Amino acid sequence: MSEYLKTWVEINRSAIKKNYRTFRNILSPGIKLMAVVKSNAYGHGLAHFAKEISKLGADFLAVDDIDEALILRKSGIKKPILVFGYVPDSFIKEASLKNISLTISNFDFLRKIIKTKLIKKIKIHIEVDTGLGRQGFLGKDLPAVLVLIKKSKNIEIEGLYTHFAIAENPKFFSYTKKQIENFKIWIQAFRQNSFKPIAHSSASAETMRSSEFHFDMVRVGISMYGLFPSKEIKKYVKTKIELEPVLFWKTIVSEIKKLPKGHNIGYDLTETLKRDSIIGICPIGYWHGYPRALSGKGEVLVRGKRAKVLGRVSMDMITVDLTEIKGAKRGDEAVLIGQSKNKRITAEEVANQAETINYEIVTRINTEIMRIYK
């Protein structure tokens, strides 16, 4: 199918399975695994990835919004689903009927749910802000939260969770530990009040770093896709854990031409050829999610060799230097992320060149680009 496309994403099913097994082997028996498939499964294709990871045995799925949750239900996913983010009040009843669990992180939404007339109880996860400074109830809110949920007859306290602020860097473990101490106060209080929520705090980084804070469930996001959440964690676990990148992003060489030394390349004349050159055009640009920050410094792989991006990354095209690549021709595959022969360009490398993080690189790949599961 890829021969009919100008750009596409290939997803390696074997890599998904390998990464899933890696995390299952980390967890003690009885610990649930939540696969985070939010934001179009970090750019990997929401419904397809959710089906793959569900078949492998993930206990829970997590999404960003109610739209993603409904897409999964419509696609036939039966697994428990938790929505992390904001949900409009008008979707409370539908979430209840379709067994979609909602995050409750403020009193306004909690009171709204309690007052809503429901046919069946709605499952909720209480989120606690233990130090991230984002969504979540503060420590002082605990007594009032307990009063409200004990009175309610239409909610089921399914989960209780928090987000770490700096778990991606083991050097700041003391801050993470402080967050956990705050979180444990909530766990103890809920259990003393006869609630038995699934407690969860560890995302990819803390799941790999230590089993100390796995509690009842872990939430694995970026690393289920074969990417490390930070270079610090990668270094910390390098002798114990191997991950295999799941995503390959490819395009083609759509045009080749010879240009003389001194010829300008691209908008704003940001690059001038220093030699007689063979240049290639690839029909990919920042509209597709290829960062404009890679202008003049990004690289793609053609025939197992690196071809530098020349001049500006345009909306729908880039220009690459093919001078040293013998036999390059129109229609050749050009790898943006992935492997060609024995050469590889990783999402981390692209992120470093663009001065961002691998999360942003993969999640910003345009959703209209076809994902091909192989």
* Numbered residues of the known binding site for substrate: 134, 315
Q: Is residue 81 a contact partner of residue 60, using CB atoms and an 8 Å limit?
A: yes
HEC string of the chain equals CHHHCCEEEEECHHHHHHHHHHHHHHCCCCCEEEEECHHHHHHCCHHHHHHHHHHHCCCEEEECCHHHHHHHHHCCCCCCEEECCCCCHHHHHHHHHCCEEEEECCHHHHHHHHHCCCCCCEEEEEEECCCCCCCCECHHHHHHHHHHHHHCCCEEEEEEEECCCCCCCHHHHHHHHHHHHHHHHHHHHHHHCCCCCEEECCCHHHHHHCCCCCCCEEEECHHHHCCCCCHHHHHHHCCCCCCCCCEEEEEECCEEEEECCCCEECHHHCEECCCCEEEEEECCCCCCCCCHHHCCCCEEEECCEEEEEECCCCCCCEEEECCCCCCCCCCCEEEEEEEECCEEECHHHHHHHHCCCHHHHHHCCCCCCCEEEC
Q: 71-103 in b/e burial notation, b at 16+ Cβ within 10 A?
A: bbbeeebebbbbbbeebeeebbeebbeeebbbb
Gap between the Cα atoms of 350 and 360, Å rounded: 10
Gap between the Cα atoms of 298 and 27, Å rounded: 38
Binding residues are 134, 315
Is 267 one of the catalytic residues? yes
User: Annotated catalytic residue: which of 32, 38, 51, 123?
Assistant: 38
User: Annotated catalytic residue: which of 55, 267, 297, 329?
Assistant: 267
Give which of 182, 184, 183, 175 is closest to 205, Cα–Cα. Answer: 175
Is 38 one of the catalytic residues? yes
Show the CA angle centred on residue 49, arms to residues 76 and 60, nearest 5°. Answer: 70
Residues acting as catalytic residues: 38, 267
